[in-house]
């Protein structure tokens, strides 16, 4: 009798006891279904490239053929331990290379569990003696389904070995890897769920309907317009909105900028452009990339309210999944729950988006193929990491040229990604199309603040800042470091103790930082908004997380000396709606005061460099009225800072990309240079979600989504916050869902400091 080969076993629904073999997934069925799904994804990515769909089908057919080995089937039945003899991905990779001459499929298949390899490691893997791939493939093919053996695709190699051609091929490998991983995990998930919950189970897919979404957006715009009290601002916002609609419909795909002052309505206007553009070009989704979690929470909520929660995914916190070169029996439960961005509107962070482009990890790269044929909005584009600009702009250009992606760069302080000797992949003249109608005029029309810059030799103590702040009933102060924010919080509470009770201070003095989880921060911001509307005392001390995009409106803002764009973004939290009036009822400007704290501490690297450059560009006559000032500032900044990985003895990211060293690129292309880990904190509904997951010993994608709002990043490394808190962290589900959960004793809800280490907020992290 012919032996039966299985792809996956099945755990019991209520226990870890295995289900009988007749309920396991047949290997030939899994390979065929993954191949068909991979080919479907490939056609959606590159609809006019038939060979890519054939390549994707090949990868799907080969990815698990190593499971035809007797050793793997014994491993599946738990008759032997895992190890070198039970590895499976390497054999499909070998067949892809030796018989189909496809380097792309070799990379994708070899890494579909372990992650993409570096080129030399891949060569050693398939050619070395450890796995004896060439000889064992012959044995495997004796058991392989006929349709796999009969598939005759061979990749056509190009004679062009230029660096540009190698960059293009590197992206193609990444796309193939992404769609293979997604097809494999989706097929496995669907099979498991149908076995456990019935044959009708299907992962819910929400279709992208830009026409109906546009209608909902226009209805929301009409409501907002009706409630805007300042007639001039209402007219300007409506004009921007109409321009975005028209240009979205009439423009070819490409790169676009939306240069609008803070308070000009970029959030909805950019979405108007994106939806109109997607409808015109038959694109698949809109992806909004945002730098700060504080904006993501706000914008994602606004989009959910407009379009319905079924159309919007808020995705920010990255769950760490350990990677091993030894193939597991099957994908980990957490892998199958990872996001793939198969939803109409994705709201994500710069960290998530950029690391998806450069990651070697299956869980991270899984969603890459769903970026193709979409509109990507970079909100607050000036915050893109300078140290990654060279490789990032190169990848964005390839996504635009080949994979049908249009990009919208939004900012009040638009950077100059101009091609220079230090930014070789910068844009040439007219490569970016401006959407906004006459930005110069917009800036003058939307001026709502006046700047005061204190003398550079006049250093303010926290007592000085406190005395200035308490002269105002409602005021915001933005500082550069968490430590500074906490010290000023202590100082201002001490000064106000004689005038207010402790409970009144708790209601009037606010502290915001990234030591708080997103849900906690958003709750505090909503209370702040209510106090601003009702005229109650409101003194807010924050780090930079509040300065860009947060829809909040103070009459006075104090800003510690920092990067020029940060100062101007901070000013966007002042007189945002233009409603301030003087004693005669006439409109007046808000006040923005830039000062130098006695504690001149700054986040290291680009932030410090940018602050030093700012001094030469801090022209108060141009700050609120001339967008060209920011292009001058960014042009200088990009000339004096690295725009690619730069370390003695190491190559650049671009060099490693051209050599197909995916793991080296992964380790180098980090938005946040410090190694961090994501932990769940016991705030709000998180406690109930944690208890439910632990009680049921099961979880899915929706559980991971729900927990995002209750996650905080901690710095790892020697003497780090993570090391200090290690004993206070326990895994959510040991061995299955190793997301660390923080003990409630180390999360301060009473005074709203968030995570505390030795009774203080953690050291400063990039927000």
pLDDT per residue over 159-188, tens digit each?
Answer: 788 999 999 999 999 999 999 999 999 999
The Cβ of residue 238 has, within 10 Å, a number of other Cβ atoms equal to: 17
% of the chain residues with pLDDT over 90: 60
pLDDT bracket for residue 226 (50, 70, 90):
confident
Using CA atoms, how far apart are residues 127 and 137, in angstroms rounded to an integer? 12
pLDDT at 331: 45
| Average pLDDT estimate for 590-597 | 96
pLDDT bracket for residue 464 (50, 70, 90):
very high
Higher pLDDT residue, 355 or 405? Answer: 405
| Average pLDDT estimate for 734-743 | 82
C-beta separation of 358 from 371 below 8 A: no
Using CA atoms, how far apart are residues 63 and 115, in angstroms rounded to an integer? 13
pLDDT at 324: 52
Encoded tokens for 516: 């708080």
Query: Is the pLDDT reported for residue 732 higher than 60?
Result: yes
Query: Is the pLDDT reported for residue 17 higher than 70?
Result: no
Helix (H) / strand (E) element for 408: namely strand 406-411
The Cβ of residue 308 has, within 10 Å, a number of other Cβ atoms equal to: 14
Encoded tokens for 670: 């980090």
pLDDT bracket for residue 112 (50, 70, 90):
very high
Helix/strand/coil percentages in the chain, nearest 5: 50, 15, 35
CA atoms within 13 A on the CB side of 543: 28
pLDDT bracket for residue 51 (50, 70, 90):
very high
Using CA atoms, how far apart are residues 234 and 227, in angstroms rounded to an integer? 9
Query: Is the pLDDT reported for residue 14 higher than 60?
Result: no
The gap from C-alpha 202 to its chain's centroid, in whole angstroms, comes to: 27
Using CA atoms, how far apart are residues 583 and 418, in angstroms rounded to an integer? 47
Using CA atoms, how far apart are residues 348 and 288, in angstroms rounded to an integer? 6
Backbone φ and ψ of 180, nearest 5°: -65, -45
Higher pLDDT residue, 686 or 545? Answer: 686
β 25-26/6-8 pair status: antiparallel
pLDDT at 334: 45
Using CA atoms, how far apart are residues 705 and 90, in angstroms rounded to an integer? 33
Each residue's pLDDT tens digit, 484-501: 998 999 999 999 988 888
pLDDT at 558: 98
pLDDT at 96: 96
pLDDT at 280: 98
B/e letters for 119-141, b = 16+ CB within 10 Å, e = fewer, are: beebeebbeeeebebeebbeebe
| Average pLDDT estimate for 400-426 | 92
pLDDT bracket for residue 764 (50, 70, 90):
very low
What value does the mean pLDDT of the chain take?
89
B/e letters for 30-60, b = 16+ CB within 10 Å, e = fewer, are: bbbbbbbbbbebbebbbeeeeebbbbbbbbb
pLDDT at 16: 43
Query: Is the pLDDT reported for residue 236 higher than 50?
Result: yes
pLDDT at 761: 60
Query: Is the pLDDT reported for residue 394 higher than 90?
Result: yes
The owner of tokens 């220079």 is 420
| Average pLDDT estimate for 71-90 | 92
C-beta separation of 416 from 389 below 8 A: no
Answer left, alpha or beta for residue 549, where phi above 0 means left and psi between -120 and 50 means alpha. left
pLDDT at 765: 40
Query: Is the pLDDT reported for residue 88 higher than 50?
Result: yes
Reduce the DSSP state of residue 455 to 3 states and report it.
Answer: coil
| Average pLDDT estimate for 402-412 | 95
Helix axes 133-141, 89-98, angle to 10 degrees: 100
pLDDT bracket for residue 197 (50, 70, 90):
confident
% of the chain residues with pLDDT over 70: 94
Q: Which of 227-241, 340-354, 439-453 has the highest mean pLDDT?
A: 340-354
C-alpha dist (Å) from residue 733 to 8, 19, 738: 22, 21, 6
Each residue's pLDDT tens digit, 666-707: 999 998 876 788 899 999 999 999 898 888 777 777 787 788
- Give 277's DSSP letter: H
pLDDT bracket for residue 329 (50, 70, 90):
very low
pLDDT at 230: 80
C-alpha dist (Å) from residue 518 to 267, 587, 706: 19, 35, 12
pLDDT at 759: 61
C-alpha dist (Å) from residue 134 to 58, 106, 141, 532: 18, 14, 11, 71
Each residue's pLDDT tens digit, 501-542: 888 888 999 999 888 998 998 899 999 999 999 999 999 999
| Average pLDDT estimate for 78-93 | 93
Reduce the DSSP state of residue 72 to 3 states and report it.
Answer: helix
Using CA atoms, how far apart are residues 526 and 528, in angstroms rounded to an integer? 5
C-alpha dist (Å) from residue 35 to 57, 148, 515, 537, 686: 4, 10, 44, 62, 39
């Amino acid at each position: 009798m012919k032996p039966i080969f299985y792809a996956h076993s099945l755990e019991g629904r209520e226990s870890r006891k295995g289900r009988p073999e007749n309920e396991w997934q047949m290997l030939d069925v899994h390979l065929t279904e993954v191949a068909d799904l991979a080919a479907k994804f490939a056609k959606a990515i590159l609809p006019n490239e038939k060979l890519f769909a054939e390549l994707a089908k090949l990868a799907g057919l080969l990815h698990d053929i190593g499971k035809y080995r007797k050793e793997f089937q014994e491993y599946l039945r738990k008759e032997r331990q895992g190890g070198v003899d039970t590895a499976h991905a390497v054999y499909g990779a070998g067949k892809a290379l030796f018989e189909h001459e496809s380097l792309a499929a070799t990379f994708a298949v070899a890494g579909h569990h372990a992650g993409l390899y570096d080129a030399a490691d891949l060569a050693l893997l398939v050619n070395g003696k450890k796995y004896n791939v060439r000889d064992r493939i012959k044995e495997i093919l004796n058991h392989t389904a006929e349709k796999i053996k009969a598939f005759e695709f061979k990749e056509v190699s190009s004679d062009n070995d230029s660096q540009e051609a190698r960059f293009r091929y590197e992206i193609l490998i990444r796309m193939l890897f992404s769609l293979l991983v997604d097809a494999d995990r989706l097929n496995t998930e669907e099979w498991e769920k149908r076995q456990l919950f019935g044959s009708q189970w299907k992962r819910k897919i929400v279709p992208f309907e830009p026409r109906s979404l546009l209608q909902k957006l226009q209805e929301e715009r009409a409501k907002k317009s009706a409630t805007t009290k300042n007639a001039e601002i209402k007219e300007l916002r409506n004009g921007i909105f109409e321009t975005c609609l028209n240009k979205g419909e009439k423009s070819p795909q490409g790169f676009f900028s939306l240069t609008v002052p803070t308070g000009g309505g970029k959030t909805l206007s950019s979405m108007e452009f994106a939806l109109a553009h997607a409808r015109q070009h038959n694109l698949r989704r809109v992806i909004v990339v945002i730098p700060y979690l504080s904006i993501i929470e706000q914008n994602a909520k606004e989009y959910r309210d407009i379009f319905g929660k079924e159309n919007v995914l808020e995705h920010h916190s990255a769950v760490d999944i350990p990677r091993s070169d030894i193939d597991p029996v099957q994908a980990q439960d957490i892998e199958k729950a990872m996001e793939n961005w198969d939803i109409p509107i994705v709201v994500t962070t710069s960290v998530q988006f950029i690391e998806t482009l450069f990651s070697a990890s299956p869980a991270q790269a899984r969603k890459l193929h769903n970026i193709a044929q979409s509109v990507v909005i970079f909100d607050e584009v000036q915050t893109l990491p300078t140290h990654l600009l060279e490789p990032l702009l190169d990848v964005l250009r390839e996504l635009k040229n080949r994979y049908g992606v249009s990009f919208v760069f939004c900012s009040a302080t638009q950077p100059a990604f101009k091609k220079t000797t230090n930014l070789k992949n910068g844009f040439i003249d007219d490569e970016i199309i401006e959407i906004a109608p006459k930005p110069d005029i917009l800036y003058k029309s939307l001026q709502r603040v006046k700047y005061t810059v204190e003398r550079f030799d006049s250093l303010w103590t926290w007592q000085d800042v406190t005395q200035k702040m308490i002269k105002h009933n409602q005021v915001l102060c933005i500082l550069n470091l968490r430590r500074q924010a906490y010290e000023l919080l202590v100082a201002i509470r001490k000064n106000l103790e004689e005038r207010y009770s402790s409970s009144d201070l708790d209601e009037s003095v606010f502290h915001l930082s990234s030591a708080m989880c997103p849900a906690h921060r958003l709750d505090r911001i909503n209370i702040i908004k209510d106090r601003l509307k009702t005229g109650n005392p409101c003194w807010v001390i924050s780090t930079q997380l509040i300065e860009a995009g947060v829809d909040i409106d103070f009459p006075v803002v104090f800003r510690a000396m920092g990067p020029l764009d940060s100062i101007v973004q901070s000013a966007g939290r002042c007189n945002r709606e233009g409603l301030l009036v003087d004693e005669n009822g006439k409109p007046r400007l808000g006040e923005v005061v830039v000062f130098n704290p006695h504690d001149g501490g700054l986040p290291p690297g680009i932030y410090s460099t940018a602050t030093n450059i700012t001094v030469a560009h801090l022209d108060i006559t141009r700050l609120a009225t001339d967008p060209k000032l920011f292009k001058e500032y960014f042009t200088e900044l990009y000339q004096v800072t690295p725009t690619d990985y730069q370390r003695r003895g190491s190559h650049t990211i671009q060099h490693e990309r051209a050599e197909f060293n995916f793991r080296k690129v992964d380790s180098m292309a980090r938005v946040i240079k410090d190694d961090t880990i994501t932990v769940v904190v016991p705030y709000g509904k998180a406690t109930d979600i944690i208890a439910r997951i632990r009680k049921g010993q099961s979880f899915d994608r929706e559980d991971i989504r729900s927990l995002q709002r209750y996650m905080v990043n901690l710095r790892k490394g020697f003497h780090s916050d993570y090391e200090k808190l290690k004993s206070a962290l326990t895994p959510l589900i040991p061995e299955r869902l190793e997301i660390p959960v923080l003990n409630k004793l180390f999360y301060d809800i009473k005074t709203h400091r968030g995570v505390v280490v030795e009774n203080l907020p953690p050291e400063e992290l990039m927000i």
